[in-house]
Structure 1
Amino acid sequence: MEEKSEKLLVRYYSDVLEEIVVETLWAEIIEQEKGLYKIDNIPFYGPEFSCGDIVFAEYDKDEERITFRRVVEYSGNSTIQIILLDEKTDIENLRNEFKNIGCESEGTGSNYFVMEVLYELNYLPIFKKLKELEKAEIISFAEPNISNKHLSEKE
């Protein structure tokens, strides 16, 4: 049976952590012999790509695994990073609020998660919700990889 997914190593500078980060992400194999993979989960700390993007990756002998090199095709999806500031707010309830409007997320720890905004979604109501929560000092958020479509919708 042929493998359909591969773990890719990604090394990049994270503005969230203010350091070089090594992250492994699942990717669907598109054309392995050409090094083409489609990112299949949400990056945690802010590389310049999102879930659904097609990337070029190749085996790196120093890293001893298949390693991300560059984005080949952007999906138009965006990645939003959210830090929970208010300890009284239940992070799972907050993640479910966004899930109900179409945004999947992945969490780490009790106060941080990343959220995917699909290309098809209108970003304006999502952005307004994020700004409302930020103004109420419930969250802080960043947009490490926002598509041109979503960027234009919040203006």
Structure 2
Amino acid sequence: MQDDNVKILFQFHSDIFDEEMVETMWATTVDRNKGLYKLDNIPFYAPLVASDDIIFAEFDEQQQMLTYRKTVEFSGNSTIQVVLMDKSKDINTIRKTFEELGCVSEKVNDGYFSMEIPALIDYKFIKQKLDDLEQNEIIGYAEPCLADQHRTTLQ
């Protein structure tokens, strides 16, 4: 396995912004000849993908870069998007709360971050904390990529 990093372009329709969007993410080459790459980033906006997913990407002549086509193997990680609603709260304190529960995140700005729920973490406790913060109007959140095992823990 080669371990060179490449940038992959993701093109998608955002229901939130109601427009076509693009996002680039870093990936590690798994098999260049087969177009397989392992996603290194937590997606900020792109839906239905999570870090460590194995994806198929190919060079797009129009975009002039490697472009995502499909997910080949899901990592089991989930991606949660969090928007700070109560501007009197510190977003880094909220991120730290989830970090203590085993979830890493990447901050976009002082009002938004994207968080990874690792495959082996019980999502039920994370979901309870998210719901509590949302009910108290501190945050709003979306689950653009919820892995099967995280979904089933909620049933």
Question: Which TM-score tier does this pair reach, normalised by the shorter chain?
Answer: over 0.9
Residue of structure 1 in register with 2:95 after alignment: 95
- Give me the identity figure in percent: 43
Residues 2-151 of structure 1 aligned to structure 2 (within 5 Å): 4-151=4-151
4+ aligned runs moved over 3 Å, structure 1: none
Cα distance in structure 1, aligned partners of 2:3 and 2:38:
14
> Alpha-carbon deviation of 1:126?
0.2
> Alpha-carbon deviation of 1:68?
0.5
CA displacement, residues 6-46 of structure 1 (integer Å, 9 cap, x when unaligned): 00011001223222111100001000111000000011113
Q: How many residues were matched structurally?
A: 154
TM normalised by structure 1 equals: 0.96
Aligned residue identity for 1:9 = L
Cα distance in structure 2, aligned partners of 1:87 and 1:63:
38
Report if aligned partners of 1:17, 1:45 keep a CA contact under 8 Å in 2: no
* RMSD, aligned α-carbons: 1.1
Q: Which runs of 5+ in 1 are unaligned?
A: none
Report if aligned partners of 2:23, 2:46 keep a CA contact under 8 Å in 1: no
Aligned residue identity for 2:118 = L
Cα 1:41–1:83 change in 2 (3 A) is same
> Alpha-carbon deviation of 1:3?
5.9
Aligned residue identity for 1:72 = V
Cα distance in structure 2, aligned partners of 1:50 and 1:128:
21
Q: Which runs of 5+ in 2 are unaligned?
A: none
Cα distance in structure 2, aligned partners of 1:18 and 1:139:
21
TM normalised by structure 2 equals: 0.96
CA displacement, residues 87-127 of structure 1 (integer Å, 9 cap, x when unaligned): 11100111111111110111112101110000000000000
Report if aligned partners of 1:15, 1:45 keep a CA contact under 8 Å in 2: no
